[in-house]
Amino acid sequence: MNELFQYDPDRETERAAKVRALEALLIKKGVLGSDSVDAVLNHFETVAGPFNGARIVARAWMDAQYKQRLLEDTPKAIRELNFPVGMDGAEGEHMKAVANSETVHNLVICTLCSCYPWPVLGLPPYWYKDPVFRSRGVREPRAVLSEFGVAVPADKEVRVWDSSAQIRWFVIPERPANTAHLSEEQLAALVTPEAMMGVALVCAPA
């Protein structure tokens, strides 16, 4: 019997509600202080998150030479953008970018647990940790991508990258058509964490 993985966006909402309830209980019991919780939330809202990755991708779309440097030495290229804090700290060690193209589509998973480049993608979604997603992503990546709404043509290669404590991968998605008139900031606004994991495409604005 085949294992089934079904992406369900409603589960993310349910998970967030459970986290808030647990947070409130821990604060009430004195296990956590509200200041500590606020500090963590502020960090992922303003310092480490997918807005960083989006900025990196947009620069790569705008500057082919920067993109090449990013693929050759990802940490060094990221440092060129002068982020306000270091990007190679906790969960950002040894980051490595790969690029989608007309002939290749990349998918990032973590077969062992849930290694993830927090500084550029934020916190991992619930399904990234799902053991069925992790195993099927290796065995049948095209089927998994199809369940996310990404239909990869038969003549396009799918490459699967396994994140670990040694290398934390993220994807430079293809730049959507008809965006030549957009600024770097406007391009960054189109990039989602899902696209930088390879389970979504970037769409041009309507």
21 DSSP 8-state letter: H
**Short-list 195, 50, 185, CA closest to 117:** 50
User: Does the annotation mark 203 as catalytic?
Assistant: no
> Is 203 known as a binding-site position?
no
CA 1 to chain centroid: 31
Catalytic residue chosen out of the listed positions 34, 36, 113, 203:
113
Task: Determine the 3-state secondary structure of 123 from DSSP.
Answer: coil
**Short-list 98, 114, 75, 102, CA closest to 161:** 98
> Is 110 known as a binding-site position?
yes
User: Does the annotation mark 115 as catalytic?
Assistant: yes
Q: Please, which residues have CB within 8 angstroms of residue 127's CB and are 6 or more apart in sequence? A: 5, 7, 8, 11, 133
Beta partners for residue 160, in sequence order: 107
Q: Which residue numbers belong to the known binding site for Fe(3+)? A: 110, 113-115
Q: Which residue numbers belong to the known binding site? A: 110, 113-115
Catalytic residues: 110, 113-115
